[in-house]
Amino acid sequence: MAFGCGEETSQGTVMLFPDLMDANVIDNGLSPGVDLGSAVLDQGVSTDRVNARIRIINPIGGAFTGVRVIGPYDEAMTDSSGAAVVQVDPGEFRLALDAPGARRHHLFGVATDIDFEQITYVSPEMITRLVYGQLGLVDDPDKGIVVVGLDRANLAPAVGAAASLDLASDEGFVIAGPQASAGTSIPPNGQGFVTFPNVVPGIVSVSATYPDGQCQVFPANGPDRDIQVIAGDVSIIAYTCE
């Protein structure tokens, strides 16, 4: 899984291999009660919105084209390079990613007042089923999946970084080489993300630690933030660890 801004590696997270608005916000076709953030439509007043360029990778086929990226103000489809641009406000943001053959992914982060690019994987259902089968997991449709990206600033996996949640879930797993294995810290030669399957829906606090320094939420590299877990969906948050 990758989440970041730069190369096709980890730091812009969605699941690399997992088994892998407030009222007044424009109608993005989302289910009632799905909040994409606190962004409210302005009434002719200038704003400090920034451009979020989201580049989505399909772990089984390179750039993921035709993915609908839904923001608090607008939406866009990914092009042949897997990229789409939407606007967000500085501060906490949330985007929804709707891809063919995949469950909905929600990308959480904290933006500055500077345009940014975030690379993330969206995992097709066939990959999710494959990894769950490999680990002997049973997918519970009444629960969600949380993916935590843990990368260095150069987008290399932050080996030794670890993630935890304050909501109940099945045991977390990581990807090392071609195999998924139980664990919540990034192993040598592993992918830069930890996946938590069957997480109880609700607001979850994510903690990320790094023995060689600290992990901060991408792209602002600021303090932790809570994210929402939705039944049947994937919630993603990425950290830069230095």
pLDDT tens for each residue of 57-86: 998 879 999 999 999 999 999 999 999 999
- What confidence tens digit (pLDDT) does each residue in 120-170 have? 999 999 999 999 999 999 999 999 999 999 999 999 999 999 999 999 999
Q: How far apart are CA 163 and CA 159, in angstroms?
A: 12
Main-chain phi, psi angles of 123, to 5 degrees: -95, 120
Residue 27 has pLDDT above 60, yes or no: no
State the CATH number of the domain containing residue 120.
2.60.40.1120
SS3 128: helix
Q: Are 96 and 30 in contact (CB under 8 A)?
A: yes
| Number of structural domains in the chain | 1
Place of tokens 């990807």: 175
Mean pLDDT of the chain: 84
Task: Quote the pTM value.
Answer: 0.82
Amino acid at 169: S
Strand 105-111 and strand 234-241: the pairing is parallel
What is the C-alpha separation between 192 and 52, in angstroms, rounded? 22
Name residue 92's beta-bridge partners: 110
**DSSP secondary structure letter of residue 157:** B
Q: Which domain holds residue 192?
A: 3-241
- Where residue 112 falls (left for φ over 0; alpha for ψ -120 to 50; beta otherwise) is beta
